[in-house]
Structure formats: structure tokens, C-alpha cells
Structure 1
Amino acid sequence: MEFDKQYFLEMCNKISEKTLMRTLDIVYTDAGPDFLTATMPVNSRVHQPMGLLHGGAMVALAESVGSAASLILVNPDKQEVRGIEISANHVRSIREGVVTGTARIVHQGKSVHLWEIRITDEKNRLISLCKLTNMILPKR
């Protein structure tokens, strides 16, 4: 079955209604057979007290895009995705604008997916480099 980018993006954005993703204004914007991209605005809603993008907001973006990306690789009628470990290295700060998180598969096993998520600013500068491990479970 061929990957339907438009259908997948619409599904990701629809299932995000009334969730943390909507609270943070995360929008899924691009997808392919082995990647997913989402954006998040940087404003006072996601700042830490010093006026910079909060590291936790970056991790929320990374986990949101990395977990949803595993849905590309599974049968959602038969399988569920659970994030089990995430790590992040924040390498640059940002005060305003938009950040983009792109998840790319590193390892696709039957029960574990490993994703690298690069969070960049509008000039494509690396802001944070994250790694997410997802467990793939049978749907209950």
C-alpha cells in the first residue's frame, strides 16, 4: 500500500485535537514513508522564566512528532505506539519564531522503533537534537 501523505497529516492533526499538541499549537506539516515533521510557535506560552523556549516544550514537540511518526510504520488497527525513553540535547536558545521538529527513523524493529528528532529554527539552525524510543504493542 502506498503512503498517503495528505491523509496521514490530516489524521495526525485531527487526533491532536483537545490534547497537549493543540495546547502547544503543534501542527503536523510534512510526512513521508520514514519521516514526520511538525511545527510549534515560540512565544510566551512556551517560554521559561528567562524568556527562552522551555526545554520541556522542545521535548514535548520531539515526543509528539516521534510518537506519531511510528504510526507511519505500523498498522494502527492492530498496533499501538508507546514512547518509552526520550533524551534531548539543547544546543541553541530561541526567544520567538517557529521551531520545526523532524523525526527520522534510525531503527525499525518489530517491537521497537528508534527515532532521531532534529528541532530547528526558521533559519534551519539546530536548536535541539532528541532521540526517542517507541515500543510497538498489540492493540487492546
Structure 2
Amino acid sequence: MKKKTNSFLNELNKLKKNNFLCIINIRFIFISENKKLLIAKIPINKKILNPFGYLHGGVTNSLSETVGCSLSFINIKSEKNYKKFNIFNIEISTNHVHHIKNGILFAKAEILHKGKTIHLVKVKVFNEKKILISFCKMTNLVLYKN
């Protein structure tokens, strides 16, 4: 099973070519064997700070949405006809509880509900000292491709 989870991580990390994932320099680092938990990290740099020198809240939201949707993707990928489906985030709610200026930011996504068309995901964003920066809940829609 470890070989399969490493394969999923490699596949996710390859998705960041010439798109937004490359800009925020995301790296997927862990997926649980049951595929209910996914962790990624990004380095904090000057390009993702707000004008006051703190991490921009939009980056936290983007990181949360990316990791949460990727977790939904991994969960449908293991199903037979996964190429016939797309994942879309349809609702996201984020509480920013702490500020940060530098270091490494981690996002830990966990599926709370996995239905046929709706996935409910929670994401905790924290720094390398395990201080909670933001908490997010999101709803992902699994849609059949036309």
C-alpha cells in the first residue's frame, strides 16, 4: 500500500507545472493509507505576504482549497471510472486565527464525509511549530464530465 500512496504523492506533485500550484510552490508530503488525510507544505516568501508583511489570507485559502480538492481527487481516482469525473470546490469557509511572517506553512486536509457527489473536507493550516494559523471547511462537488 505504501507504494500506491507514494505513487499518488508523485502524481499530485507533477500537477504543479506551469500553473498556480507552481507559483505558491506547493509540495504534497503525506497521504494516509486509507486516503482520508493529505498533507502539503509551502515556503513563506515575500511574494505571498500582504502589504503589512504578513501571510496573505488568500494564500491560506488557496492552499486549503488545493489540498482539499486534491484529497477528493485521490479518493475518486481509486474508483473504476474516475476519468469521467471532475472535482470542484463549491463552498469554502476559513477562519484565520493567527498571523505569520515567515517559515513553512503546512495544510492538513481530512475528509469528513465522502458521498457520491459531495465531499466535506476540513483543513487545518499550521506552521512548523504546529501553531494553528487557519481552520477551513469546504464542500467539494464531484461532477460527471459531459
User: What TM-score bracket applies, with the shorter chain setting the length?
Assistant: over 0.9
After TM superposition, the structure 1 = structure 2 runs for residues 59-70 of structure 1, keeping only pairs within 5 Å, are 59-70=61-72
Match of 2:127 among 118, 121, 124: 121
The counterpart of 2:142, out of the listed 124, 131, 136, is 136
TM-score of the aligned structures, taking structure 2 as reference length: 0.91
> For residue 53 of structure 2, what is the aligned residue in structure 1?
51
Residue 29 of structure 1 corresponds to which residue in structure 2? 29
What amino acid sits opposite 2:51 in the alignment? P
1:78 to partner: Cα distance: 2.5
Q: Residues 34 and 72 of structure 1 are in contact (CA less than 8 Å); yes or no, is this contact kept in structure 2?
A: no
Secondary structure at 1:65's aligned position in 2? helix
Q: Distance in 2 between matches of 1:68 and 1:16?
A: 12
Instruction: Give the match for residue 113 of structure 2.
Output: 107
1:95 maps to what in 2? 101
SS in 2 for 1:49: coil
Unaligned runs of 5+ in 1: none
Greater mean alpha carbon deviation, residues 69-78 or residues 110-119: 69-78
Q: C-alpha distance in 1, partners of 2:21/2:139?
A: 19
Between stretches 10-19 and 91-100, larger displacement belongs to: 10-19
Aligned 8 A contact 1:101 1:118 in 2:
yes
Give the CA deviation at 1:111.
0.4
| Residue among 81, 84, 90 paired with 1:84 | 90
In the alignment, the residues of structure 1 paired with residue 72 and residue 145 of structure 2 have an alpha-carbon distance, to the nearest angstrom, of 14
Structure 1 runs (4+) greater than 6 angstroms displaced: none
Query: Number of paired residues?
Result: 139
Q: Return the alpha-carbon distance in structure 2 between the equivalents of residues 25 and 72 of structure 1.
A: 20
String of CA shifts for 1:39-91, please: whole Å, max 9, x gaps: 01112111001100000000000000000000121133232111111110000
Output the amino acid matched with 2:105. Answer: V
Q: Aligned partners of 1:23, 1:88: CA distance in 2, in Å?
A: 21
2:74 aligned residue (72, 75, 81): 72
Q: What secondary structure is seen at the aligned counterpart in 2 of 1:52? A: coil
Quick one: distance in 2 between partners of 1:18 and 1:131? 27
